[in-house]
Amino acid sequence: MALFKIGLTPQPAVVPARSAVDASTSENTIKPQFWFDPATALVSQNFGVRTLGQLANILVALLTPAAVVAFVMGMWRVCADLGWAGAFLISAGFFSHWQVWIALSIGLKMLSSSLLSWGLRIAKFSEEN
């Protein structure tokens, strides 16, 4: 998101024009100036910093058990392939492979860890301001 500020900048009246669009004989020229704020500042203005920290904590609390369940499903599939456990719940398709479940578990845990560190950064940012 960009914030726009339009201000008047004094320009000499006899400045040679670069193109027909830029031709101006007025004393002042309107020039747009752009400032890009960090995403955390824009989001914190809309939702509040405490709300974002709480949302991150809720997502971490939900993603961590989901990662454990995915890991258990992957181990169940490995044990079923080795003959150590009964038949696996899903017998055909994409989710019938143990690699998918283990990769899903790792991905969910990595997402949970990154959300946790982001929530801590947001909390530290709100304490400083």
To the nearest whole number, what is the mean pLDDT of the chain?
Answer: 74
Residues 73 and 110 in one domain: yes
Which residue bears the tokens 């100036």?
Answer: 33
Instruction: State the Cα–Cα distance between residues 101 and 95, nearest whole angstrom.
Output: 7
Domain encompassing residue 29: 2-36
Across the range 75-102, mean pLDDT stands at 91
29, 12 contact by CB (below 8 A): no
13, 25 contact by CB (below 8 A): yes
Residues 72 and 90 in one domain: yes
Residues 8 and 63 in one domain: no
Structure tokens that stand for 92 in this block: 């055909």
Which residue bears the tokens 């500020």?
Answer: 5
Across the range 74-98, mean pLDDT stands at 90
Instruction: State the Cα–Cα distance between residues 129 and 75, nearest whole angstrom.
Output: 46
23-61 per-position pLDDT tens digit: 455 555 555 444 444 555 555 555 565 677 778 888 989
Residues 58 and 96 in one domain: yes
* pLDDT over 70, % of the chain: 57
Residues 84 and 28 in one domain: no
Task: Tell me how many domains the chain contains.
Answer: 2
Which helix (DSSP H) or strand (DSSP E) does residue 80 occupy?
helix 49-82
Residues 91 and 119 in one domain: yes
Residues 83 and 27 in one domain: no
Across the range 50-73, mean pLDDT stands at 88
Residues 68 and 108 in one domain: yes
